[in-house]
Amino acid sequence: MITSIAILVFSTALFIFYIQTLCQQVLRREFSRAYFQDVLNAIDLEFPRLRQAMEANASVTYAQIRLALKMDYFTLSYLLKKANPSERRLTWQERLIISYFRLQFLLLPVRYAFHFREKQSVIRLAAILNYFANLVGEKVSMMNAAGVTVNHTA
């Protein structure tokens, strides 16, 4: 009985480690240029200022952090899904990183409650949002290069 529980715990830990390593590998993807700047110029997102505040140890309340991350996530995930209407579905990497963001965001209150590396967690979430902004900018740039136009009819 103890052996089977130990095997289950060890297997689960290895699976979580594998998923986290896979997510980190996807997040390390190099883009040909900083597409996120185009997205930041088009819409006002909070995650760059939030990341700077965390790195500078500025005082930011948990409510501000949570709201800023949540709104930026909703904005970028919507744009990611709608950036290229010819593509119906997200890639498996995009779905994996969305799930990874959601998991990290769900763990944020626990980290703040126990004061366990909350600053690194916020910086990690901001890095994921930066990756999303790069993806959105890249997709829009590729659509513009291909001359794709979208008709908005009411």
Integer Cα distance of 90 and 96 in angstroms: 10
| CA 51 – CA 34 distance, rounded (Å) | 17
pLDDT in tens, 115-125: 888 889 999 99
Predicted pLDDT of residue 118 = 86
Q: Give the structural domain span for 39.
A: 2-145
Q: Is residue 153 part of a domain?
A: no
| Per-position pLDDT tens, the chain of length 154 | 899 999 999 999 999 899 999 999 999 888 878 888 888 888 889 999 988 988 888 888 889 999 999 999 999 998 888 876 666 788 889 899 999 999 999 999 998 888 888 889 999 999 999 999 998 888 888 777 776 555 544 4
Q: Is residue 154 part of a domain?
A: no
Helix-strand-coil split of the chain, %, nearest 5 = 75, 0, 25
d(CA 32, CA 65): 30
- H runs (alpha helix) in 28-88: 36-42, 47-55, 62-82
The pLDDT of residue 153: 47
Establish if 65 belongs to a structural domain.
yes
Question: Biggest alpha carbon distance in the chain?
Answer: 64
Structural domain contains residue 137? yes
Q: How many domains does the chain have?
A: 1
Cβ atoms within 10 Å of 140's Cβ, excluding its own = 18
